[in-house]
Structure 1
Amino acid sequence: MTAASIKIPVRVHGIVARSSRTRGLWLLVLVAVLALLSALSVTIGTRDVAWAEIMAALGGGQETIGQAAVALRMPRTLLAVLSGAALGLAGAIMQGVTRNPLADPGILGVNMGASLAVVIGVAWFGITSAHAYIWTAILGAGGAAVFVYTIGSLGRGGATPLKLALAGAATSVAFASLVIAIVLPRGDIAGGIHAWQIGGVGGATYDRVVPVLPFLGVGFAISLLSARKLNSLALGDDVAAGLGEHVATARAVASLGAILLCGATTAVCGPIGFLGLVVPHLCRTLIGVDHRWLLPFSALGGAALLLGADILGRIVARPGEIDVGIITALIGAPFFIWIVRRQRVREL
């Protein structure tokens, strides 16, 4: 009895230690991949540049065309990293809050709610400032999230994954139709709105990135600090309440973080879909379901995937480029179909 009681803790401790080492290794790999993609992002474009020009541009030089090109790509790279991290993290939060494997800012209509709010603000109220765009998008994202969750909760069984996905899909289609109806008679804004709706990071400048940083910072902080609460919610509402967790408050706070991230990202980049669906699923296969690891991994994975999609869009259509929203849709749509067909669409 004594020998057995000694061996079991040692064996369990060994499993935990190996798991932590594995996660740590994957974390280093992910950081290295993100660093490599960042380097490629400032290198690849319509004009290839040498490392000497890159280093000179990083030091503030813009004497040559190559240095000027690098100077333009640096804010684009920064925006891609921040936006990808925000969407990947928001997707993991939404899947944890709803315990829905199909949850995603695009599928649940959150991105389209932010998009509709911005279009209304531009067309009817003439908003122009960056902060007005951001606040409007955040309010639209929050309203859409509440609306979809309310609709998905109606009837027997409450907010099941399938009902939420159907409610989100229907809401997205309805909001997209409203956007078209609002923009169609407004030729003065139609071109800019259509380009923004595709979703992309092209043309990024530091003047566009800086206003969104406080909102993303608050969203990242709230979301990452919700990891333990999401672990409790994953055990079920009754168990979480028995552990002393205020279930409704935990859901509301975590959802607030995701809404801030989605709204702020949509305001500056436009609606980018499927990233928040793909990344958390890939990260779970690497490091498991512990949100203390899953959330930061989803942020890093989202940054790497969006940056990689942006680089791919520049390569396949040279000397032009394909917006990153199109690339992520091409990647995410088959992944969504695979999840629906191969996995049981139940609660996480």
Structure 2
Amino acid sequence: MSSVDTKRAAPQRHRIAVLLFGFAALLLCIVLSLALGARSVAPGTVVEALFGGGQGRDAMVITGMRLPRTLVGLAVGAALGLAGAVVQGITRNPLASPTTLGINAGAGFAVVTAIYALHLTRPVEYVWFAFAGAAAAALFSLALGRRAGDLDPIRLVLGGTVLHLVLVSWTSSVLLFSERTLDEARFWLAGSIAERNLNVLTPMLPTLVIGAVVGFAIAPALNTLALGDDSAQALGMPVARIRLAGMVAVVLLAGSAVAVAGPIAFIGLAAPHMVRLVLGNDNRLLIPGCLIAGPLLLLSADIVGRLVARPSEVEVGIVTAFLGAPLLAILARRKEVR
């Protein structure tokens, strides 16, 4: 093997090792998610319960409550991580996230309005309202971001941020005038995967899969888009179509995640940055890496929320917001981000 081939093989081995390490960390996080909570369970009991050999209360808690919760966390974390990577790619803004496009606020406003007007009481009843609100907010941000027929990434982010502020204000107004709606919606608005079962997740699986496929498909084009619109167009890339496809992926991924678990912040922002630190800026590696980083961050935050206030727990959306604020400040001060 020549020296050039050796130099090329070394980074490849490093990336594979990083992905394997991340996957092992995610497996450990899954085991901890099944074992820890208000009542801790031994790892051996977890294995017995998963393979049908366990009986008793611990086995019922694992298979009936913690396993569905963990599966929901895996799906939601992966969706938010992928959505964050795609939206940062199409806007060329490392501080962009699904929240920036007003997706979380759109879903929240739709759910609160549905609870207020239709007297809904269960997540499975308003999950489609959340998805519709997220999609409508993203489409409105898309309309605000268009200039002379093309999608302007700066206008897109600014329009989404303004929309987010407006929708949050409207949502707060509805909650202020209806105590019943506040009591019903505040748990979902906090962002949580507790008490979420597969009946809530299953309807969203097709949209999650389609969004992930679109995100993987445009990953090479996002590398070209990072060179700038003029350079990308000179290389023959249809910039407007790629951005539109990216927006579709973000709507499907983030909309589904928010519909299932509520508006969980900072996962979509933090996961891509965590992957970039170890794998670089290549979207062909960044997007697959977010499939690991997103669930890892979400399940870790969920475990922290279970342990800090036992026997009660803190919703995962509150934990991610508490930990994500310092992260945002650090990222904003980095030279590479500026």
1:87 and 2:69 matched: no
What pairs up with 1:1-348 in 2 under 5 angstroms? 12-60=4-52, 63-71=55-63, 72-125=65-118, 133-148=126-141, 151=144, 159=152, 167-343=159-335
- Taking a change above 3 Å as real, the CA distance of residues 242 and 125 of structure 1, as seen in their structure-2 partners, is farther
Which amino acid in the other structure matches residue 331 of structure 1?
L
Contact 1:115 1:271 in 2 (8 A): yes
- For the structure 1 residues 252 and 10, does the alpha-carbon distance in structure 2 shift closer, same or farther, using more than 3 Å as the test? farther
- CA offsets, 1:77-105, max 9 Å, x none? 11111111110110000000000111011
Q: CA deviation at 1:192?
A: 2.0
Question: Structure 2: how far apart are the matches of 1:251 and 1:202?
Answer: 34
Quickly say closer, same or farther: Cα 1:114–1:337, change in 2 above 3 A.
Answer: same
How far apart, CA to CA, are the structure 1 residues paired with 2:120 and 2:102? 23
Q: Which amino acid aligns with 1:142?
A: A
Structure 2 SS opposite 1:231: helix
> Looking at CA atoms only, which structure, 1 or 2, has the larger radius of gyration?
1
Structure 1 residues 332 and 208: alpha-carbon distance in aligned structure 2, compared to 1, 3 A threshold: same
Shift of 1:133: 3.9
TM-score, reference length from structure 2: 0.90
For 2:40 and 2:212, how far apart are their aligned partners in 1? 34
Q: Check the 8 A contact 2:121/2:184 in 1, yes or no.
A: no
Check the 8 A contact 1:41/1:73 in 2, yes or no: yes
Q: Distance in 1 between matches of 2:53 and 2:113?
A: 41
Q: Is the 8 A contact 2:127 2:200 kept in 1?
A: no
Partner Cα distance (1:256, 1:160) in 2: 15
Q: Which residue of 2 aligns with 1:6?
A: none
Worse-superposed segment, 271-280 or 104-113: 104-113
Is the Cα contact below 8 Å between 2:112 and 2:181 reproduced in 1?
A: no
Structure 2 CA distance for aligned equivalents of residues 147 and 343 of structure 1: 32
Q: Note the C-alpha offset of 1:152.
A: 5.9
Q: Residue deviations 1:145-204, cap 9 Å, x none?
A: 34345556779xx9565x665554443232112112223333333212111000010112
Q: CA deviation at 1:73?
A: 0.3
Identity, % of aligned positions: 39
Summarize the Cα distance change of 1:264–1:160 in structure 2 as closer, same or farther, 3 Å threshold. closer
| CA shift in 2, pair 1:331/1:121, >3 Å | same
The answer (yes or no) to whether the contact 2:91–2:157 under 8 Å persists in 1 is no
CA distance in 2, matches of 1:269, 1:11: 50
SS in 2 for 1:47: coil
- Structure 2: runs of 5+ lacking an equivalent: none
Take 1:222 and 1:85, find their aligned partners in 2: how far apart are those partners? 14
TM-score, with structure 1 as normaliser: 0.87
Indicate how the Cα distance of structure 1 residues 344 and 49 shifts in structure 2: closer, same or farther if over 3 A, else same: closer
Q: C-alpha root-mean-square deviation of aligned residues, in Å?
A: 2.6
- Corresponding residue pairs, total: 335
Give the Cα–Cα distance (whole angstroms) in 2 for the partners of residues 36 and 210 of structure 1.
Answer: 25
Which stretch of the first structure deviates more once superposed, 236-245 or 210-219? Answer: 236-245
CA drift of 1:282 comes to 1.6
Quick check: 2:83–2:254 contact (8 Å CA) kept in 1?
yes
Instruction: Tell me how far 1:249 sits from its aligned partner.
Output: 0.9
Instruction: Provide the C-alpha distance between the structure 2 equivalents of 1:188 and 1:36, rounded to a whole number of angstroms.
Output: 40
Q: Letter of the aligned partner of 1:145 in structure 2?
A: A
2:84 partner letter: G
Q: What's 1:3 paired with? A: none
